[in-house]
Amino acid sequence: MDLWHCASVVTGAASGLGAETARYLAEAGARVTLIDIDAAGVAAVADEVGGLAIPCDVADAGAAEAALKTAREAHGAARVLVHCVGRAHPQKIVDNDAPMPLDDFRQLVEVNLISTFNMTRLVAADMAHLPRGQSGERGVIISTASGSAYEGQSGEAAYAASKGGVVSMILPAARELGALGIRVVGIAPGLFGTPTLFAMESNLDSRVVHSIPFPQRFGDPAEFAMLVMHVIANVMINGTVLRLDGGYHR
């Protein structure tokens, strides 16, 4: 897909993997809409890359629909969605004899899983009206899972379950939306040096890094953005979740 002037939406764009992806897309000439619940943060990144900032809670159906309408009016319907919104909050199922509040579980599922489905359905409905490109493609939707979907740690039951839902959604969504010329792909990062990582792994130490086969360091958000760019370019990548973790299995 030619990214020159291509309408693209990045969520979670105020920080970490989403912010770096927005930088790469803008550098390639795309018209980038940056969405995040952090209004000041997303405005700063949008300013830096020359994109459109929209503060929005993407788990909220009405707010996300309004945000995409604003994006569509500015840039046209998106051919690329990179959904990087996510939140991590380690919490025990039973802590000091008390059960984890069910609303805490619900909140992580809202932010990580429901937001992914919400953005997928809204963006795909818009993409369906776009003319097909040279390869017959209308667009690509890339969502962010996590290595925790496969090997969640103690204290990660809610986060892992929410990301497991993202992994499970990719293939059936690709099967359905393929008929419309829309690809659906997931990326499951390992350990990347961003605020989410440090929220999840409060006691990160050198032993964690040494358990990564190679390279023994945190991933750089640029390495995530590079994979996003390849997925966009390579039309054969579809219906799969790509692990990006240096071989790290928790």
Ligand X SMILES: NC(=O)c1ccc[n+]([C@@H]2O[C@H](COP(=O)([O-])OP(=O)(O)OC[C@H]3O[C@@H](n4cnc5c(N)ncnc54)[C@H](O)[C@@H]3O)[C@@H](O)[C@H]2O)c1
- CB of 242 vs ligand X, minimal distance in Å: 12
Phi and psi at residue 232, to the nearest 5°: -65, -40
Closer to ligand X by Cβ: residue 137 or 224: 224
The encoded tokens of residue 111 equal: 């932010």
The residue whose two tokens read 């990179």 is 82
Burial of 167 (0-12, 13-18, 19+ CB in 10 A): middle
Question: Can you tell me the distance from the alpha carbon of 34 to that of 42, in angstroms, rounded to the nearest whole number?
Answer: 7
Binding-site ranges for ligand X (CB under 6 A) = 12, 14-18, 36-38, 41, 57-59, 84-88, 111, 115, 144, 146, 189, 191-192, 194-197
Comparing CB distances to ligand X, the nearer of 175 and 198 is 198
Q: Which residue is nearest to ligand X (CB)?
A: 86
> And the tokens for 108?
């992580």
**Cα–Cα nearest to 7, from 69, 74, 79, 55:** 79
Name the minimum Å distance from CB 179 to ligand X.
27
Q: In the complex with ligand X, which residue's Cβ is closer, 56 or 127?
A: 56
3-state secondary structure of 84: coil
Nearest approach, Cβ of residue 163 and ligand X (Å): 7
Please, what is the minimum distance in Å from the beta carbon of residue 188 to ligand X?
Answer: 7
Q: Compare residues 130 and 241 and give the one whose CB is closer to ligand X.
A: 241
Whether 159 is catalytic? yes
Residues annotated as part of the active site? 159
